[in-house]
Chain A
Amino acid sequence: MEHFIQQIVNGISLGSIYALMALGYTMVYGIIKLINFAHGEIYMVGAYIGYALTTFFNFGFFPALILSMILTSLLGVVIEKVAYKPMRNSTRIAALITAIAVSMFLQYGMMYFVTPQTRSYPNILPDIQVSLFGTNAVVDIRNIYILTVTIVLMLLLQYVIHKTKTGKAMRAVALDGDASQLMGIDMNKTISYTFAIGSALAGAAGVLVGIYYNTINPLMGAVPGLKAFIAAVIGGIGVIPGAVFGGFFLGVTETVVSALGGSLYKDAVAFAILILVLLIKPNGIFGSNQREKV
């Protein structure tokens, strides 16, 4: 039982990371119907920025987190302008291949600059652990930071998307680009904002993961990127609550499967869940099958 509770705690932390990344996937997909395969690399860059700031510049957790989010959001905007915008009217497969190219460019570009060597984050959070309900299951301060930051960012996102003019424009463009332009919405600007926000969330996830698991390397974005993509699809790609649900669901499932002795199969389980969901609800758990009335 203790073991189980411990795994849930760990699963929620991993799920937070997946959820933050899945949000970026889903927002970008929602607005330009592109699976941004470079999203995992933005997370990796975020982790490195956080590493550099805390290691070489002695930044504390929050300043490092925020600056890393700002820089990754810029990176996302630049990637969109340079690589994806020229492909906007080409076939989807061409755009997808471009995204894979950007992903590899970032992986190996990073490797060139920082070498493939694994780095360790410094310990910037105090060493505090709390045992749960008097058991041996412990919640580390890092678990609390991850979950709190994730929840705060999600609430902020929710606010931006539903209450601000820019957020409403983002939703409108995701629903109907042409109609949005007819309302006076500038597509290019709105797409840039979407990349900025999605990338900032990935950057945050990168810093959090560095703090949580301690080690980072230039290829660290590949597998979590794929997992977050799966999470987004499970929840219903393009649907924001779906991404959050998918992220936490996948994170907890994975840790529980590992705890039950299936750590070798945890990736297979992720894919099995994906296939199952797609068979039963092709649009994902939160995806709608509703069509507009004519």
Chain B
Amino acid sequence: MLEIKNLNVFYGGIHALKDISLKVNSGEIVTLIGSNGSGKTTTLRTISGLEKAKSGEILYENQNIVGIQASDIVKMGISHVPEGRRIFGTMSVLENLEIGAYARTDKENIKKDIKKVFELFPILYERRSQNAINLSGGEQQMLAIGRALLSRPKLLLLDEPSMGLAPMIVKEIFEIIKNINNSGTTIMLVEQNAKMALLNADRAYIIKNGRIELEGKANDLLNNELVKKAYLGG
């Protein structure tokens, strides 16, 4: 579904992604793990068109999408839940969801899909007319995911959905991610919480200083000594 080939991204003089190559197959959950500043967010932002690639290809359904503007990439079926959630704080929960469907024109189906999101996250329904800024961290993450689902993505990019959340809520969020995947959406998950990510993903890539260091089945990486030491706390 998605194949990245020799991708290089720079921020001015900083070489943030160095010849990255990776693949996401249809139906999978693929996770990209790495420590602070390793290039995870940059990878997702480049896929969704927010950053420009210097060289390399991003093939999505066999089409190179490098250079297409972000607002058009959503329409092709890639939806990105950004790091830090980035919900629209002074807009209501419902308005946030409506904006999630901005790229669509099928009004009736949008209504149905919003209803589905409310079924997935009942708490959002209760708070539908409150400003999004008043939600708790976990609820904001749910809203960010719900909003992203409303563009009806085939591929969902998630950037650290567990960031800043209590363990109980993290578990809940990962269950939701699993559910979304089971209903047919392919997922690329960026995480610092390596354990949770590996427990839930099919395959994984480990990124360090802008390079892919290691890749493999999530299960295998869970038991890999190097990974244990560096990312799973020994």
Contact flags A278-294 to B (C-beta < 8 A → 1, else 0): 00000000001010111
Contact A184 B71, CB 8 Å, known A171-B91, A294-B137: yes
User: In whole angstroms, what is the CA distance A182 to B49 when docked?
Assistant: 9
A104 within 8 A of B: no
Q: Are A292 and B95 neighbours in the complex by a CB distance under 8 Å?
A: no
Which residues of A251-268 are within 8 A (CB) of B?
none
A276 within 8 A of B: no
Contact of B71 among A168, A176, A185 (CB under 8 A): A185
Q: How far is the CB of B147 from chain A (nearest CB, A)?
A: 7
B59 within 8 A of A: no
Which chain B residues border A183 with CB–CB below 8 Å?
Answer: 71, 74, 99-100, 102-103, 147, 151
Q: Are A179 and B71 neighbours in the complex by a CB distance under 8 Å?
A: no
Which chain A residues border B99 with CB–CB below 8 Å?
Answer: 168-169, 172, 180, 183, 185
Closest residue of chain B to A293, judged by CB?
B137
Stretch in B23-31, B78-86, B180-188 with 4+ CB within 8 Å of A: B78-86
Q: How far is the CB of B125 from chain A (nearest CB, A)?
A: 20
B133 within 8 A of A: yes
Contact of B91 among A172, A178, A294 (CB under 8 A): A172
A175 within 8 A of B: yes
Which interface residue of A176, A184, A187 has the most chain B CB atoms within 10 A?
A: A184
Q: Are B82 and A179 neighbours in the complex by a CB distance under 8 Å?
A: yes
Closest residue of chain A to B150, judged by CB?
A183
User: In whole angstroms, what is the CA distance A220 to B135 when docked?
Assistant: 48
Closest residue of chain B to A179, judged by CB?
B86
Total interface residues on A, using CB and 8 Å? Answer: 22
B70 within 8 A of A: yes
User: In whole angstroms, what is the CA distance A176 to B70 when docked?
Assistant: 14
Q: Are A178 and B50 neighbours in the complex by a CB distance under 8 Å?
A: yes
Which residues of A159-206 are within 8 A (CB) of B?
165, 168-169, 171-172, 175-176, 178-187
Q: Are B98 and A187 neighbours in the complex by a CB distance under 8 Å?
A: no
Q: How far is the CB of B190 from chain A (nearest CB, A)?
A: 15
Which chain B residues border A172 with CB–CB below 8 Å?
Answer: 88, 91, 99, 102
Contact flags A213-225 to B (C-beta < 8 A → 1, else 0): 0000000000000
Q: How far is the CB of B41 from chain A (nearest CB, A)?
A: 11
Which residues of B95-109 are within 8 A (CB) of A?
95, 98-100, 102-103
User: In whole angstroms, what is the CA distance A57 to B24 when docked?
Assistant: 65
Which chain A residues border B140 with CB–CB below 8 Å?
Answer: 293
B75 within 8 A of A: yes
User: In whole angstroms, what is the CA distance A25 to B102 when docked?
Assistant: 26
Q: Are A182 and B50 neighbours in the complex by a CB distance under 8 Å?
A: yes
User: In whole angstroms, what is the CA distance A240 to B137 when docked?
Assistant: 28
B42 within 8 A of A: no
User: In whole angstroms, what is the CA distance A63 to B98 when docked?
Assistant: 37
Q: Are A175 and B102 neighbours in the complex by a CB distance under 8 Å?
A: no
Q: Are A184 and B151 neighbours in the complex by a CB distance under 8 Å?
A: yes
Which residues of B102-126 are within 8 A (CB) of A?
102-103
Closest residue of chain B to A162, judged by CB?
B95
Which chain B residues border A292 with CB–CB below 8 Å?
Answer: 87, 89, 133
Which chain A residues border B74 with CB–CB below 8 Å?
Answer: 181-184
Q: Are A175 and B88 neighbours in the complex by a CB distance under 8 Å?
A: yes
User: In whole angstroms, what is the CA distance A183 to B48 when docked?
Assistant: 11
User: In whole angstroms, what is the CA distance A169 to B164 when docked?
Assistant: 29
Contact A181 B95, CB 8 Å, known A290-B133, A293-B140, A294-B84: no
Q: Are A181 and B137 neighbours in the complex by a CB distance under 8 Å?
A: no
Closest residue of chain A to B140, judged by CB?
A293
For this complex, 13 residue pairs linking A to B, each with C-beta atoms less than 8 Å apart, are A168-B91, A168-B95, A172-B91, A178-B70, A182-B86, A183-B100, A184-B71, A184-B151, A185-B102, A186-B69, A292-B133, A293-B133, A293-B137
Report B's interface with A, CB cutoff 8 A.
Answer: 48-50, 69-72, 74-75, 79-80, 82, 84, 86-91, 95, 98-100, 102-103, 133, 135-137, 140, 147-148, 151, 164
